[in-house]
Amino acid sequence: MHNKVRVRFAPSPTGPLHIGGARSVLFNYLFARGQNGTLVLRIEDTDLERSSRESEENIKASLRWLGLNWDEGIDVGGPYEPYRQTERLDVYEKYVNQLLASGHAYKCYCTEEELEEQREVCRQKGELPRYLNRCRKLTEKEQGELAKNRKSVVRFRVPAGEVIRIDDRVRGIVTFESDGIGDFIIVKSDGIPTYNFAVVIDDATMEITHVIRGEEHLTNTPRQILIYKALGLPEPSFAHVSLILGKDKSKMSKRHGDTSVEQYIKKGYLPEALINFLALMGWAPEGEEEIFTMEQLIEKFSLDRVSKSPAVFDMEKLNYINGYYIRNSSIELLTKMAIPYLQEAGYVPAQVDAEYEKWLQGVVGVARNYVSYMAEIPEYVDVFFNDEFKMEDDKALEALKGEQVPDVLRVLQEKVEKRALHPEEVKDILKEICTDLNLGGKKVFMPIRAALTGKTKGPEMHDLIPLLGPERIAKRINNSLSQI
The domain that holds 341 is classified in CATH as 1.10.8.70
Task: Flag whether pLDDT at 2 surpasses 60.
Answer: no
User: Which candidate in 254, 390, 431, 442 is catalytic?
Assistant: 254
**Domain assignment of residue 58, yes or no:** no
3-state secondary structure of 112: helix
* Same domain for 410 and 355: no
Query: By percentage, how much of the chain surpasses pLDDT 90?
Result: 82
Q: Cα–Cα distance between 320 and 468 in angstroms, integer?
A: 30
390 has catalytic annotation: no
CB half-sphere exposure, 95, CA atoms < 13 A = 23
Same domain as 352, residue 467: no
My answer on whether 126 and 159 are in the same domain is: yes
Last residue of one domain, picked from the residues 190, 215, 241: 241
Average pLDDT in the 208-235 region? 97
Question: Does 464 reside within a domain?
Answer: yes
Grade residue 438 by pLDDT with cuts at 50, 70 and 90.
very high
CATH number at residue 150: 3.40.50.620
DSSP string for 379-415: GG-HHHH-SS-----HHHHHHTTSTTHHHHHHHHHHH
214 in the same domain as 128: yes
Lowest mean pLDDT among 19-33, 330-344, 384-398: 384-398
* Position 289 in a domain: no
Evaluate the omega torsion of the peptide bond into residue 193 and state whether it is cis, within 30 degrees of 0.
no
Instruction: Work out whether the CA dihedral 233, 236, 242, 244 comes out positive or negative.
Output: negative
Q: Residue 316 falls within a domain, yes or no?
A: no
Rounded to whole angstroms, the Cα distance separating 6 from 36 reads 9
What would the pLDDT profile of 273-328 be if each residue is shown by its tens digit?
Answer: 999 999 999 999 988 899 999 999 999 999 999 999 999 899 999 999 999 999 99
Residue 208 and residue 340 in one domain: no
Average pLDDT (409-438) is 94
Q: Give yes or no for residue 258 having a pLDDT over 70.
A: no
Which residue, 241, 260, 285, sits at the end of a domain? 241
Whether 267 maps to a domain, the answer reads no
Residues 416 and 369 in one domain: no
Full strand arrangement of the beta sheet holding 184-187: 105-108, 153-156, 184-187
pLDDT band at 259 (very low <50, low <70, confident <90, very high): confident
406, part of any domain: yes
Query: pTM, whole model, 2 decimals?
Result: 0.91
Same domain, yes or no, for 125 and 235?
Answer: yes
User: Within a domain: residue 304?
Assistant: no
Q: What is the pLDDT of residue 319?
A: 97
Q: How confident is the model at residue 239 (pLDDT cuts 50, 70, 90)?
A: very high
Closest CA to 377 of 329, 339, 327: 339
Does residue 69 carry a pLDDT above 90? yes
Regarding whether 438 and 343 lie in a shared domain, the answer is no
Q: At what angle do helices 271-279 and 315-327 cross, to 10 degrees?
A: 140
If asked whether residues 393 and 454 sit together in one domain, one would say yes
Name the residue range of residue 415's domain: 386-481
Exposure string over 358-375, b if 16+ CB within 10 A, otherwise e: eebbbbbebbbeebbbbb
CB 68 within 8 A of CB 60: no
* DSSP per residue, 337-377: HHHHHHHHTTSS-S---HHHHHHHHHHHHHHTTT-SSGGGG
Dist CA 25 CA 41 (whole Å): 9
Number of domains in the chain: 3
Contact 431, 480 (CB under 8 A): no
Confidence grade of residue 399 (pLDDT, cut at 50, 70, 90): very high
Q: Is residue 433 part of a domain?
A: yes
> What was the pLDDT predicted at 254?
53
Residue 76 — very low, low, confident or very high, per pLDDT cuts 50/70/90? very high
Asked whether residue 237 falls in the same domain as residue 361, the answer is: no
For residues 391 and 377, membership in a common domain is answered with no
| Distance, CA of 24 to CA of 12 (rounded, Å) | 13
My answer on whether 343 and 397 are in the same domain is: no
